[in-house]
Amino acid sequence: MTCGCCGNAASRSAWLYMLAVVLGVCCGISDVEFLTQAGSLASEIFIRIFKCISLPVISLSVIVSLSSYDSDRSMVSVWKKTLFYTVSTTIIAASLSAVLYVILAPSNVALLSNPPGDAKPISTNYLKYFLDVVPDGILNSFVEHKVLSVLLISVILGIAIRFIKEEEAKSSVVSFFKGIHSVFFTITRLVVKILPIGLFGFIAVSVKELRSGVDLAGMGKYFVVIIAANIVQGAVILPLLLAIRKVNPIKTFKAMTPALSVAFFSKSSSATLPITIDTMESKLKVDTKISRFTLPLCTTINMNGCAAFIFTTVIYIMQNNGIEITAFTILTWIFIATLAAIGNAGVPMGCFFLSASLLSSMDIPMPLMGVILPFYGVIDMIETALNVWSDSCVTAIVDHEFKDPETAGT
């Protein structure tokens, strides 16, 4: 049952978003220079904000996630199994989106298919890109917006903190990073609250481009790729994995329906976590030792839906900016999308922020992100439900193998 204040807040938020859309459309179709500049300014400011906060939040989330779990020997096996299934399902999600992308072949948005001749050249030297993953300085990686380099630093720091022998020092370091993480998370929530302003700017710029002769026909197939990848992953791949590991997929899905419903409408895996834990313990009888270790970890790093979104979005925008999409490009971005999704760590709108960061790191223009943003709310609902379903599947499998070690070997 929803309280009155929550209902009023949701109603106000819906009205604000509707107002932002209406004002954005009016601004985009207007020939008043002041209004046009206002829309462009709002759009540019929010893109800069996304780029500013995304890397610190993602980095801190990874560090806190990896450093906050005890190295209890009895849970080492659970940790390894959870990590294995998390990485496996995320790779499958990214690969599935790649297959669907090749089959459906979304066409370009007309205005962006032929970038201006004076546009800044885009680097596709992937050898250099992977070399840049190895940091030449911690601060340099952040300043130069090297996303994968930052993720590597964060993983190393998080794991290193886990193995600090002095408990007092370890506790202090973990508390420090948790505190900074809370600060940036609070900033992110504030940004989400004023997001209607950014939405106004993105809509205004998009409408202006439409008036200039943009053909958005290819965007339909782009959205179909993302949604289809999420549906196939959730309805086919994950149930098949459960069945292979001798866990009843129908029983598991029926039991998890309350949590999946909350995830869909709340668009937050973290907010759904208490319900997910309670449902798995009460209805599926998952061992509390497993559920209260695996589910928080999965909520942080198990992002199947995010992997599909990152891969499809980055590839589509690269394609629209004249970059040839080869088999090597697709394989490379399956790998990058997997790492990035695992590093996303449950940040609000993290998939959107992270995709923008990856594009920014290669100096790829991002006006299409403004076209995607108004529809991202629906995509986010589907992705969140998939992420919670994947978390539930991984936890159910790990619990089953923990109780029946013989099954793990089959």
**Domains of the chain, residue spans:** 4-408
pLDDT surpassing 90 at residue 23: no
Q: What is the DSSP letter of 122?
A: P
Residue 386: its pLDDT value, please?
Answer: 92
Task: Look at residue 345 in the predicted model and tell me its pLDDT.
Answer: 52
**What CA–CA distance (Å, rounded) separates 68 from 119?**
45
Q: What is the pLDDT of residues 334-378, one digit of tens each?
A: 988 887 787 665 555 667 877 877 787 677 877 777 778 777 877
The pLDDT value recorded for residue 116 is 41
Report pLDDT for 39.
Answer: 81
390-407: pLDDT as tens digits: 999 999 999 888 776 655
Model confidence over 52-106: pLDDT tens digits?
A: 776 777 677 678 767 766 555 556 777 788 889 988 999 999 999 999 999 998 8
pLDDT at residue number 131: 66
**Dihedral class, residue 285 (left if φ above 0, else alpha if ψ from -120 to 50, else beta):** left
Please provide the CATH number assigned to the domain covering 4-408.
Answer: 1.10.3860
Q: Residue 404: exposed, middle, or buried by beta-carbon count in 10 A (0-12, 13-18, 19+)? A: exposed
State the average pLDDT over residues 139-157. Answer: 75
Task: Record the tokens describing residue 126, joined without a space.
Answer: 């992937």
**Residue 389 pLDDT exceeds 90:** yes
pLDDT on residue 195: 72
Question: Is the predicted pLDDT of residue 148 greater than 70, yes or no?
Answer: no
Q: Is the pLDDT score of 143 beyond 50?
A: yes
The mean pLDDT of 99-128, rounded to a whole number, is 63
User: What pLDDT is stored for residue 238 in this prediction?
Assistant: 95
Cβ neighbourhood burial of 151 (10 Å; 0-12, 13-18, 19+): buried
- Do the beta carbons of residue 122 and residue 364 sit within 8 Å? yes
Q: Are 334 and 292 in contact (CB under 8 A)?
A: no
Give the integer Cα–Cα distance in Å for 86 and 303: 8
Q: Which residue has the higher pLDDT, 71 or 389?
A: 389
- The one-character DSSP state at 260 is H
Confidence of residue 141 (pLDDT cuts 50, 70, 90): confident
Highest mean pLDDT among 203-212, 254-263, 315-324: 315-324
pLDDT higher than 80, residue 123: no
- Dump pLDDT digits (tens) for 293-340: 788 778 777 788 889 999 999 999 989 888 888 888 899 889 888 877
Contacts 24+ apart (CB under 8 A), 83-88: 85/241, 85/393, 85/394, 85/397, 85/398, 86/297, 86/298, 86/301, 86/302, 86/342, 86/394, 87/338, 87/342
Three-state secondary-structure class, residue 56: helix
Angle at the Cα of 201 (from 323 to 147), degrees rounded to 5? Answer: 45
pLDDT at residue 248, as a whole number: 93
Choice among 22-31, 83-92, 145-154, 271-280 with the minimum mean pLDDT? 145-154
**Residue 356 to residues 311, 362, 363: CA-CA distances in angstroms?**
12, 10, 10
What is the mean predicted confidence (pLDDT) over 216-237?
87
Q: How confident is the model at residue 242 (pLDDT cuts 50, 70, 90)?
A: very high
Round to whole Å and give the CA distance between 307 and 396: 22
Cα 57 from Cα 23, distance rounded (Å): 31
Backbone angles phi, psi at 283, to 5 degrees: -100, -35
Residue 283 has pLDDT above 70, yes or no: yes
Q: pLDDT at position 237, please?
A: 94
Distance CA 297, CA 299 (A): 5
| pLDDT attached to residue 298 | 80
What is the band of 121 on the pLDDT scale with cuts at 50, 70, 90? very low
Say yes or no to pLDDT of 213 above 50. Answer: yes
CA pair distance 218, 205, nearest whole angstrom: 18
Please give the residue that has the higher pLDDT: either 237 or 338: 237
